[in-house]
Structure 1
Amino acid sequence: MDTSNLTKKDTSNYPQTLTDAQQMITGIYSNLNYAVASPASSSYFVSELVSDDRFGGGGENDKMVQALDLMLNYGSSMLQDFWNTRYKGIFRANMAIETLDNCSGFESDDQKNQIKGEAYFMRAFFYSEMATLFGQVPLVVATDPVNLPKATPEELYAQIATDLKTAIEMMPSKPYTSVEAGHATKWAAEALMARVYLFYTGFYTKDALPLVGGGSVSKDQVVAWLEDCIENSGHTLVGDYRNLWSYTNKYTVEDYDYTKGKGLKWVEDDGAVNPETMFSVKFSNFPSWSTTIGYANQNALYFGIRGGQDLAKTFPFGQGWGMGPVNPTLWNDWKAAEPTDIRRSASIIDIPQELPNYTKGGWADFVQETDYWQKKFSPVSAKNTEGGYASSYSVLMYNTPENFQLDNTMDQVIIRLADVYLMHSELTQTNTYMNKVRERAGLTDKPYSLANIQNERRWELAFEGTRWNDIRRWGLAADLLDKQIGVACYYKATADVTKSFGGGYKARYNATKGFFPIPEAQIALSQGVLVQNDGWGTTGAEYTGWK
């Protein structure tokens, strides 16, 4: 124990250099990909399934995704993978925060502060996901192993707000282009602070975010940070909403009837950086089945149309596992409210209209199938030079090995500037930035009202992981979820309707408040220090299957 290790890195000799510091930060970011490797246990995936705008879907044996949609148990530790992954990320962030000051060789104070600020941002981001998914979790802010009980919401959000405030004040006020794509910036921290503020104050009916050691973050501070972000970040709205999504890539756009001849061009073509994206998960072009499956966008695979049929029948959309069918209510509500909104058809596939040759039932076991599918994070195919189809545009764009389970490479966008605009309007109760978002969609101005901003967020940010926590913080979740019962769908390609399980969506939400169960394995490991969340482990909370 008193001898220096000359062959391996450990806490006695690492980190010491700028390279070490950069490696530590990369290790924290890789945690984002570990969660995406198993999307059925990720915050984004769960938030999409459980929202009122999507169903569980998948095949008969995909019972966990259907259970997540219904807020029912499936097994004793269904979110174990996500819990483990995020606490690994939190440990890495804690290690970086504790040791980065040991490093030398930084090129400037700005570089050092940027790297340290990213560590604080990532710890806040991880805890913000844990806090909205589980409600109360152990608050671990040091690398020393301690068996901790669940922290209170006030303690959790005080740490999140403090870390974000530290990141905002620490990271340089430079345009986002000065930071490597995929890394957090001061501007992303300001945006995440607003998202956290809105959820905490709305859901818990508070008027400010607490800070560690006392004090608070007020609404005025959050608004000032958003205005700083809007004015100084360098981020801009993409001119055409459709250019945000991979179906406008250069290998597909002119072969897809919906986009052909409209002068569209995907902002991520050839690895370009989307000027609207403020924070996202980045992916590699060469993932594998071994340790790097998360370097492909597995969300796209899981949320792709359930396959087993010729790509010509689903072009330009590729094949996937069929999870998250779109609730027809979203299409109908949107059409009634904004019949000329280009975002509706830009975001949702009307299957009978767009894919008339599509065969229902995917592998003859499709559950909760509907006539609508999301476009934003779906596999996108392309026609190849042989007259056939490549499973993904990335096969042509990046020479990615063709494998429909591994060749989805689009960014998983977490925060973009349009969200910042809408949060600013909601916090200030003004319509300026809300109408900038509407203008891009070809819509006329509207006055500010809570109902208008609620609709605008639903349309603009559909399928981007925000809807679930929005309807929770607005106090609408229980009633909206219950409207999912009796909606037209298909079971094994036969007409069906959605049903009530475990007492119904509303009953399950009221019992759980929208929080999911702490994995029983973690409760056992804690030797009873952790206690299960309300509404779980009770009679009728176990999902056994659709039929």
Structure 2
Amino acid sequence: MIMNNFKSKISLALLLISGAFMSSCSESFLDVSSKTEPNSENYYKTESQALRALYGCYDGWRQVSSNPGAYSFLMASSIMSDECYGGAGVGDGYGAQLIDRFDKAAAPSEMNVFEQEWKVYYAGVFRCNTLIVSDPNIAWEDETNHTRIMGECRALRALLYFDMVRLWGNIPLFTEPSNDNKEQADPQDVYALIFDDLRYAIDHIEADDNLGENNYGRITKYAAEALFARAYLFYSGYYGAEPVYSDGTSINRQEALAAVEDVIAQGKYELVSDFKNLWPAASLVPVKGSTGWDQEKSTYAGDYNSEVILAQNFTPTQNYDGDNDANRWLVNLGMRNINASPYGKGWGIATLTPSYFRQFFDARDVRRTASAIDLAAEGVTSVSDYNSGYKDWREYTGLNFKKYTPLVFDNGLPATNPDGTADFMINNAQPWVIVRYADVLLMAAELGSPNANEYLNRIRSRAGLPHAEANKQNILDERARELAYEGIRYWDLLRQGVEVMADAVVRSGGTVQNGGKNAEIAYDKAKIIATKGLSQIPANQISLSHGVLKQNPGW
């Protein structure tokens, strides 16, 4: 995507397509066995083969966002929170509304809304498990390479399971490649594996391994430490107990704090000086009358910048023949069929709620204009495409994603490549930033760092806000402002308790326009609470399991 520094996306990303040889996902339950040669029975013998397999594991993780049939975790998390409504077009299905309302009555025909996610996540786990169990059979040439490769692989497995267990709660747990029809595991056991894997990555990936632009998108020791703290905060909050490793050893707050304090102490990351420079649409300036961007006037810090600790990386080379390596969620988040340079058209899913925007952003806060597109304030309502898009938009609020949005040149061509000739739907490649340094500072403050006030106020100072005391509520409110629309807010709400989450979602209801006509969005708090904040397991997966899988409560 042309909002990059342009020199090199991670070379890894160009190799990830090699992972396609490892597994595929058929219609039978969790059938993710290899269909092509070479396969896992005659492969994974040498270090170079192991590295190639690791690239396939990264690709398996990326497929959760690049698979054309899947909601991305980012998009689903935003819709479930108080940040967004379901949105989409007036003639579209109501899957986004089902996710938003926590109510199957919102879309009775959408009982398989997360079908692709279920398949793609387990296919990714299958790839990781295949490499992990092959470890003893690989002729490793260098022990540092050995531990780094296996550390990255186990961290990827942890990432996949962390998304799944938060989304569905009750899931089968596989620690080796298998297509067995397994019952759902106790969530504590899934989290034990997540913490085991992250601890392994922390202990085995060397401190400076995978740093640098050429490794952008690969997991470092510091990314694993940040994810460890994130998982601790969610588990201890949602379940009201300390998590444990698989050997039963308890994990306490001090261990989680030590992980993020190490990230801070090592000095490998720092806040980008101007918040808007983190986001392509907030910082890029089009050249009038041409199909290019004025790079001298652009202030974008680049995909690889000092604040990114972990990002899910993409390339703009996706096609309609099965190569899935771009992000497929970006076009979904774009304004419904409206081109208003630099903002490009999309499908209008996940419209922003006015209540959240008003609650957390005031005029002093520079994140207000960097995080969200206010269509009226920015003149979008006057462009020629506006009326047709507005009349085809469900749950329109006049607010849209800016952190993540397609871009379009001033002449209307999509900015998915330098000359505007690439597909606006499938060739977007803006990375999804999984962990930023700002998040690490706020997690450390929340976990009780003696430097909590300093960490909180670094964030507030950059945003143009006065200093505040680092108490729990102030920290959580700052997370709501700083990390808005990044797929984090819902989980921050849910870990405070299902009722806290439900109250916030209910408060976000209000007036929208469906095809230009007023409509009201309201939520049933009791139904939300009945789900415990978990999503429905795809009904067809329950059928394919012959009833071994059980549907989550409330669905």
Note whether the superposition's TM-score is higher than 0.5: yes
Distance in 1 between the 2:111 and 2:165 partners? Answer: 20
For 1:150, give the aligned amino acid. Answer: Q
SS in 1 for 2:435: strand
Q: Judging changes above 3 Å, is the alpha-carbon distance between structure 1 residues 8 and 302 closer, same or farther for their aligned structure 2 residues?
A: closer
Superposed, which structure 2 residues align to 1:274-285 within 5 Å?
274-285=305-316
Q: 1:493 aligns with which of 498, 501, 516?
A: 516
Q: 2:531 aligns with which of 509, 512, 520?
A: 512
The aligned counterpart of 1:541 is none
The aligned counterpart of 1:111 is 145
The aligned counterpart of 1:83 is 118
Superposed, which structure 2 residues align to 1:59-74 within 5 Å?
59-60=89-90, 61-73=92-104, 74=107
CA contact (8 A) 2:282 2:370 kept: no
For 2:377, give the aligned amino acid. Answer: Q
The aligned counterpart of 2:407 is 380
Is 2:68 the counterpart of 1:42? no
The aligned counterpart of 2:374 is 350
For 1:62, give the aligned amino acid. Answer: G
For 1:52, give the aligned amino acid. Answer: D
The aligned counterpart of 2:10 is none
**Structure 1, residues 155-186: CA drift from partner, whole Å, max 9, x if none?**
11111111111111111111652572111111
Superposed, which structure 2 residues align to 1:93-132 within 5 Å?
93-104=128-139, 106=141, 108-132=142-166
Distance in 2 between the 1:188 and 1:532 partners? Answer: 33
SS in 2 for 1:390: coil
For 2:180, give the aligned amino acid. Answer: V
Distance in 2 between the 1:15 and 1:176 partners? Answer: 22
Q: Judging changes above 3 Å, is the alpha-carbon distance between structure 1 residues 23 and 43 closer, same or farther for their aligned structure 2 residues?
A: same
The aligned counterpart of 2:343 is 317
Q: Judging changes above 3 Å, is the alpha-carbon distance between structure 1 residues 8 and 67 closer, same or farther for their aligned structure 2 residues?
A: closer
The aligned counterpart of 1:539 is none
Q: Judging changes above 3 Å, is the alpha-carbon distance between structure 1 residues 39 and 48 closer, same or farther for their aligned structure 2 residues?
A: farther
**Structure 1, residues 173-226: CA drift from partner, whole Å, max 9, x if none?**
1165257211111111111111110110001111x2211021022111111111
The aligned counterpart of 1:300 is 330
Is 2:431 the counterpart of 1:408? no
Distance in 2 between the 1:428 and 1:262 partners? Answer: 42
SS in 2 for 1:382: coil
The aligned counterpart of 2:549 is 530
Alignment coverage as a number of residue pairs? 504
Q: Give the root-mean-square deviation of aligned CA atoms.
A: 2.4
The more displaced of 208-217 and 48-57 is 208-217
Q: 1:484 aligns with which of 486, 508, 513?
A: 508
For 1:491, give the aligned amino acid. Answer: N
SS in 2 for 1:353: coil
CA contact (8 A) 1:191 1:420 kept: yes
SS in 2 for 1:23: helix
For 1:304, give the aligned amino acid. Answer: G
CA contact (8 A) 1:209 1:216 kept: yes
Distance in 1 between the 2:279 and 2:140 partners? Answer: 40
What's the offset of the Cα at 1:442?
2.2
Q: 2:50 aligns with which of 15, 21, 46?
A: 21
CA contact (8 A) 1:253 1:265 kept: no
What's the offset of the Cα at 1:348?
1.0
CA contact (8 A) 1:175 1:232 kept: no
The aligned counterpart of 2:480 is 458
SS in 2 for 1:490: strand
Q: Judging changes above 3 Å, is the alpha-carbon distance between structure 1 residues 420 and 306 closer, same or farther for their aligned structure 2 residues?
A: same
**Structure 1, residues 409-462: CA drift from partner, whole Å, max 9, x if none?**
211111111111111111116222111111221222111122211110011001
Distance in 2 between the 1:323 and 1:144 partners? Answer: 35
Superposed, which structure 2 residues align to 1:197-208 within 5 Å?
197-206=232-241, 208=242
Distance in 2 between the 1:39 and 1:164 partners? Answer: 29
Is 2:330 the counterpart of 1:291? no
SS in 2 for 1:67: helix
Q: Judging changes above 3 Å, is the alpha-carbon distance between structure 1 residues 373 and 11 closer, same or farther for their aligned structure 2 residues?
A: closer
Superposed, which structure 2 residues align to 1:172-183 within 5 Å?
172-174=206-208, 176-177=210-211, 180-183=215-218
For 2:349, give the aligned amino acid. Answer: M
The aligned counterpart of 2:32 is none
Q: Judging changes above 3 Å, is the alpha-carbon distance between structure 1 residues 222 and 427 closer, same or farther for their aligned structure 2 residues?
A: same
SS in 1 for 2:211: helix
Distance in 2 between the 1:233 and 1:172 partners? Answer: 15
CA contact (8 A) 2:101 2:528 kept: no
Structure 2: 5+ residue stretches without partners = 1-35
CA contact (8 A) 2:336 2:348 kept: yes
Distance in 2 between the 1:348 and 1:260 partners? Answer: 22
Structure 1: 5+ residue stretches without partners = 1-6, 537-547
Q: Judging changes above 3 Å, is the alpha-carbon distance between structure 1 residues 327 and 21 closer, same or farther for their aligned structure 2 residues?
A: same
Distance in 2 between the 1:31 and 1:160 partners? Answer: 17
The aligned counterpart of 1:213 is 247
SS in 1 for 2:467: coil
Q: 2:397 aligns with which of 370, 373, 377?
A: 370
What's the offset of the Cα at 1:514?
1.0
**Structure 1, residues 20-67: CA drift from partner, whole Å, max 9, x if none?**
111111111112332222375332221111111100000132311121
CA contact (8 A) 2:343 2:408 kept: yes
The aligned counterpart of 2:192 is 158
Distance in 1 between the 2:431 and 2:153 partners? Answer: 21
TM-score normalised to the size of structure 2?
0.86
CA contact (8 A) 1:176 1:185 kept: yes
The aligned counterpart of 1:540 is none
Please list every run of at least 4 consecutive aligned residues from structure 1 whose deviation after the TM superposition is greater than 4 angstroms.
Answer: 248-251, 259-264
SS in 1 for 2:317: coil
**Structure 1, residues 113-167: CA drift from partner, whole Å, max 9, x if none?**
1110011101111110111100110111112443221111211111111111111
Q: 2:301 aligns with which of 267, 270, 273?
A: 267
Distance in 2 between the 1:254 and 1:535 partners? Answer: 53
SS in 2 for 1:431: helix
Q: Percent identity?
A: 31
CA contact (8 A) 2:276 2:283 kept: no
CA contact (8 A) 1:306 1:321 kept: yes
The aligned counterpart of 1:449 is 471
The aligned counterpart of 1:51 is 81
SS in 2 for 1:278: strand
Distance in 2 between the 1:534 and 1:95 partners? Answer: 33
What's the offset of the Cα at 1:407?
3.1
TM-score normalised to the size of structure 1?
0.87
